[in-house]
C-alpha cells in the first residue's frame, strides 16, 4: 500500500526565515537578527494582532544563548510591524527560495516512483496578491512538483494526520511533531536544522524520527516504503489470513 504523506512548507522546504530577515532589515536596520534569543525555529505564522507580550520587550533569550549577542532581537512591537508589512508584500509566499535546492523536485520524483500520496500543510497568513493556497501551489510547481495539493490550516497537525489517515508527517517544528505522535498513528519526522546537541529532550523517546535535512527525511520515507513492500514473515501471513 502506498504511503500517504504530509509535508510542511516553511522551514522544511521553503526558506521563509531568510525572506523575513531581509524584510526586517529593511524596516529596522541591519543590526536586527530575526532568530536572536530564540532556542527554537520561528513561531508558526499568525495574524499580526495575535502576538502577546509587552509592546517594547524583546523576545526572551534562550538560556544557552551568549550573553553578548552581536545583533539585537526584534521587540514584540517590531515583530507585529514586520507581519503587518509582510501582509502588504505582493505574493510574498511565491517568491521564497528553496532551503535545499532540488529537494522539492526529488520529492516529486520519488513520490511518483513509489506512488505516494502527498499533501502540503501550511499555516501561512493571507496578504497581498493571490491566496496563500495558490501562491504555495505555484511555488511548489516552480520547484518541480506538478499538481500539488496544499491545505492551509489552523490547529493540531496530529488531528489533520488522523483525519486524513496519514502514514507520515515531515515538519521542522518539534511541537507539530509532538501533535502528530500524540493525536494520530502517523510517523513524525522532525527536520532539525540546528545544533544536534539542542534537539528537544524526549523527542526520540516520544517516537519522533529526527533528521538534519529534508533529503534525509526522504531517505527515511523511502526506507519506510521498502519495509511496507517487504513480504511478511510467517506470523504476518497468519495475521493476514485471519484478518488481524
State the Rg of the chain over Cα.
20
- Using CA atoms in the order 142, 145, 147, 148, what is the torsion angle rounded to 10 degrees? -100
Residue 81 lies in a domain: no
Residue 8 lies in a domain: yes
Please state, in angstroms and rounded to a whole number, the distance separating the CA atoms of residues 177 and 189.
7
Residue 153 lies in a domain: yes
* pLDDT above 90 (res 230): no
* pLDDT above 70 (res 17): yes
pLDDT reported for residue 52: 37
Range of the domain at 212: 4-15+98-229
Note the pLDDT tens digit of each residue in 79-135. Answer: 999 999 999 999 999 999 999 999 999 999 999 999 999 999 999 999 999 999 999
Contacts (Cβ under 8 Å, ≥6 apart) of 172:
8, 10, 11, 12, 41, 190, 191, 192, 193
Residue 24 lies in a domain: no
Cα-based distances in Å from 131 to 61, 88, 124:
35, 13, 10
* pLDDT above 60 (res 228): yes
Note the pLDDT tens digit of each residue in 197-224. Answer: 999 988 989 999 999 999 999 999 999 9
- Using CA atoms in the order 152, 153, 157, 161, what is the torsion angle rounded to 10 degrees? -70
CA angle (38 as vertex; 37, 44 as ends), nearest 5: 140
List, in sequence order, the alpha helices (H) in the chain: 16-28, 76-86, 103-114, 132-142, 157-163, 174-183, 214-229, 234-242
pLDDT band for 233, please (50, 70, 90 cuts).
low
Number of domains in the chain: 1
* pLDDT above 70 (res 172): yes
pLDDT reported for residue 44: 41
pLDDT reported for residue 38: 56
SS3 sequence of 111-167: HHHHCCEEEEEECCCCCCCCCHHHHHHHHHHHCCCCCCCEEECCCCHHHHHHHCCCC
Strand 97-98 to 168-171 pairing: unpaired
Q: Can you read off the three cell numbers belonging to residue 227?
A: 519495509
pLDDT reported for residue 242: 53
CA angle (78 as vertex; 76, 79 as ends), nearest 5: 65
pLDDT reported for residue 232: 61
Residue 114 lies in a domain: yes
- CATH number where 191 lies: 3.40.50.1000
Residue 234 lies in a domain: no
Residue 113 lies in a domain: yes
pLDDT reported for residue 66: 45
Residue 142 lies in a domain: yes
pLDDT reported for residue 89: 96
Please state, in angstroms and rounded to a whole number, the distance separating the CA atoms of residues 104 and 109.
9
Decide which of 233 and 224 is more confident: 224
pLDDT reported for residue 15: 98
Note the pLDDT tens digit of each residue in 19-73. Answer: 999 999 999 999 999 887 554 344 443 433 333 334 444 444 444 444 444 689 9
Amino acid at each position: 500500500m502506498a504511503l500517504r504523506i504530509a509535508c510542511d512548507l516553511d522551514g522544511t522546504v521553503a526558506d521563509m526565515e531568510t525572506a523575513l530577515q531581509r524584510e526586517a532589515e529593511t524596516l529596522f536596520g541591519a543590526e536586527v537578527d530575526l532568530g536572536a534569543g530564540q532556542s527554537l525555529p520561528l513561531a508558526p505564522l499568525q495574524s499580526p494582532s495575535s502576538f502577546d507580550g509587552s509592546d517594547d520587550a524583546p523576545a526572551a533569550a534562550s538560556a544557552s544563548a551568549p550573553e553578548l549577542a552581536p545583533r539585537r532581537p526584534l521587540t514584540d512591537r517590531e515583530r507585529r510591524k514586520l507581519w503587518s508589512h509582510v501582509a502588504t508584500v505582493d505574493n510574498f509566499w511565491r517568491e521564497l527560495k528553496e532551503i535545499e535546492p532540488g529537494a522539492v523536485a526529488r520529492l516529486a520524483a520519488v513520490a511518483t516512483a513509489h506512488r505516494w500520496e502527498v499533501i502540503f500543510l501550511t499555516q501561512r497568513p493571507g496578504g497581498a496578491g493571490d491566496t496563500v493556497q495558490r501562491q504555495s501551489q505555484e511555488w511548489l510547481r516552480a520547484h518541480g512538483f506538478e499538481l500539488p495539493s496544499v491545505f492551509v490550516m489552523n490547529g493540531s497537525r496530529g488531528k489533520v494526520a488522523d483525519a486524513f489517515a496519514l502514514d507520515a508527517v515531515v515538519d521542522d517544528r518539534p511541537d507539530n511533531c509532538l501533535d502528530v505522535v500524540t493525536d494520530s498513528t502517523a510517523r513524525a519526522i522532525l527536520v532539525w536544522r540546528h545544533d544536534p546537541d539542542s534537539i528537544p529532550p524526549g523527542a526520540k523517546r516520544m517516537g519522533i524520527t529526527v533528521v538534519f535535512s529534508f533529503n534525509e527525511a526522504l531517505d527515511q520515507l523511502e526506507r519506510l516504503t521498502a519495509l511496507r513492500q517487504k513480504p511478511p514473515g510467517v506470523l504476518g501471513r497468519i495475521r493476514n489470513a485471519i484478518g488481524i
